[in-house]
Homo-oligomer: A and B are copies of this chain.
Amino acid sequence: MNKDLNYLVVGLGLMGGSVAKALSLKGYQVYGYDTNLSSIEFGYQNGIIKNNIVSEELIKNADVIILGLYPSIIVSWIKEHKHLFKQNVLITDLTGIKTNIVNPIQKELIGIGEFISLHPMCGKETSGVEHSNIEMFRVANLIIVPTESNSKESIDFARDFGENLEFNNIEILSIDEHDKMISFLSQLPHVIAVALMNSHESDSLVRYTGDSFRDLTRIAKINPYLWSELFIMNKENLIHDIDEFIKIMELLKESINNEDTVVLHSLFKESKRRRENFDKK
């Protein structure tokens, strides 16, 4: 990543703000673009971005644009602003879902610039630039999601970006692999946590709660607007995973009801074996 270039973070929320902060701390020239001017003001006052006003000039001068927008508006933002882009602009994103995002954006940018897609697998139970946090990158994976139309240079940029933000691990996946993986490892657990919290009155149970329940439901403190979009945009994978999960829940229920310890022991042993595999890494 070149320190002479202008970096523009569009959407200065929790993720965009955290990226801007990390890059500014490394000495890059980072600007912010957001319709919420108090986010810009906060970013400016706290050394996260260099500008305290917002204008189209920021887009015109940007060599690299980092999109921290909600998934539902990211493609239309590109369409509405591409006439302002500098020739050969490099654009990236931080979106948690890739189908119907990466290919449409790349199509919009033909003849203008290049889009290389990123997903930093981290987040907080808060939102807004005020909660910007660069520590979360250091324990997280960065997934680079290139397509056939990406250049080697854009993938090198993505790796360099990941190293600058000090991600714990950097991986490359296709759009399809990414969206299947995120459905099972992130979206399904969030659906489960939300379902568990909604399935039973719990206010009277707080005093008896142990770590197991708290660990399992921590992610139920979900940003309702962002996660609705992520679930709906990945619904084909997610509904498949929910169905598979419910099938096993039904099998466990029947085995408990029939006192079938053979099936129960076998399911418990397999879950233990698979989960222990996650501790080794």
Contact = CB atoms under 8 A, between A and B. Distances in A.
A196 B250 CA distance: 12
Contacts of A250: 246
B171 A252 contact: no
A245 B249 contact: yes
A210 interface: yes
Contacts of A244: 199-200
Contacts of A35: none
How many monomers of this protein are in the complex? 2
Contact of A228 (B143, B195, B203, B268): B268
A271 B192 contact: no
Contacts of A46: none
Nearest to A247: B199
Contacts of A211: 139
A200 B184 contact: yes
A105 B68 CA distance: 62
A169 B220 contact: no
Contacts of A171: 207-208
A218 interface: yes
Contacts of A253: 239, 242-243, 246
Contact of A207 (B246, B275, B281): B281
A202 B184 CA distance: 9
Nearest to A248: B195
A248 B199 contact: yes
A274 to B, nearest CB: 5
A219 interface: yes
B122 A227 contact: no
Given A184-B200, A184-B202, A227-B268, 4 more contacts: A194-B248, A209-B278, A243-B253, A249-B249
